[in-house]
Structure 1
Amino acid sequence: MSMSLPPLSPHTPTSPSPSSRPPPSPRTPRPEITLTPPPSSSRNKKRRKSLRTALRSLFRSLPIFTPAAACRFPSVGAALASHPGRADGHIHGASRTTGTLFGHRKARITLAIQDSPGTVPLLLLELATPTGKFMQEMGSGEHIRIALECEKVAEHKKSTTTTTTERRRQLLEEPLWTAYVNGRKIGYAVRREPTEDDLTVMQLLHTVSVGAGVLPSDVVMDPATAGDGDLAYMRAHFDRVVGSRDSESFYMLNPDGTTGPELSIFFIRI
């Protein structure tokens, strides 16, 4: 004897068949990381030594860097513009690097410095200022000056029981900095190692030399944590000037090189 099911009433809930459910939108695949390691530190030391000799006179003309004197940095652009070795908007003898500022609008902005767009960053620094606020300041047309200070750590002399000497860190290897933007203290900047998300951003931008825009969050972040929207970025060439083992500067110039630096970044160990 077969049992027949009662007819469905208008109020009887029905479950959609599996075939009628829309398939979940696939996540955009991440690109394969093909970035090459930055040059070895020994090659950088040779290059820095020659730059130090060639540009020592330029740095002697700049003001002594202290927080109280940060407001006097408008004269830096004029000093660079009048420098006899400056041609086509670039400092003669300075090394060319690629700088990228990126982050989600409400998250802290990150600065990445690379030898070229196709290399792993030699410096990744997270600044204590929101990306959206910093991008607004950059869009205002005002010359932005980021000053980063850290304290010197006394070098350990050779031990009487060992033959090794602990070397002082290279300047860009310092882990913690006090950060100022146009003379205003914004907190601290922290050096960190690149994460998978950071390397994905650099890989997506490896063909970009100069430009600004946004990257989709589902590519550069895990979907479970990608709640801050798309990621904004700004990339440009920076002229890197090494003054000494305790001071370096990066100058972002316009592509046409006619209006001087729009963004200057100063690293100093005091």
Structure 2
Amino acid sequence: MSSVVTVEKRKVNDYKGDERPTWCPGCGDFGVLNAVFKALSEHNFDPKNVIIVSGIGCSSRLPFFTDAYGFHTVHGRAMPVAAGIRAVQPDMPVLAMGGDGDAFAIGVGHLIHAIRRNLNICYVVMDNAVYGLTKGQTSPTAERGLATKATPQGASDPAVNPLLLALATGCTFVARGFSSKPKELADLITRGIAHEGFAFIDTYSPCPTFNTVNTFKYYRDATEDLPADFDPTDFNTALQYAASEDPLYLGLYYQAEQPTFEDHIRNNKPEVTSSAMTVVESLFDQMS
């Protein structure tokens, strides 16, 4: 007589942690957190088999509020930590969370190489154009001239376009979401987790405390869904829409199948022969 094990469908609440979110009232990160819960429940993951890595900042507190394994790293270093975890836990989903300052300033060097290696990680960036944790100086995604409490003279540099950055670096899954549209964002995260390779999801997540310009209303007026007939396999069209400033498009811009970093490691793993071990042992003997 065979034994059939039925896995009960998990609910959103199964992924919530004991800690209550400490974000300011009205913070866009609440919507992102709910979208993450929804995406995890869609995959029906066991919470203890989910790993969420973050950097530093308001958005990087997200792992604290889940029942997954969370790893709160240092500023800008979520990518190398997530890469190391993925290398030793290839069968467990690894998500990374961070803000626009964490991702596109101190962490941008790690991000570029994580993308070009096509690490099997889903990275959700909560983009609000400011460093909220350190009281609102402008971030790399702030438009030139944006004035905040900590940058009253206005941002002096042109803004980074996260989508163009990801596409130009060879990212195999590039999307943009909005925390005020959690259903659509949850769908993007669900697809990003399922993607074989690096999934990059830039997410408008307004900061009501330190950015009074890029508000929920601002993004509702400025954004538009990608056309229904949009082809996410067309790289050149993805570039064209990613460069658009009016409107700012939401949805999946680009997806491609490419060998992952794990594929390369698996296919190029060197064999250790007995003769090679003899050489190593001889070297140890010389040093002892």
How does the TM-score come out when normalised to structure 2? 0.26
User: Which structure features the higher share of strand residues?
Assistant: 1
Q: Which has the higher helix share?
A: 2
TM-score, normalization by structure 1:
0.28
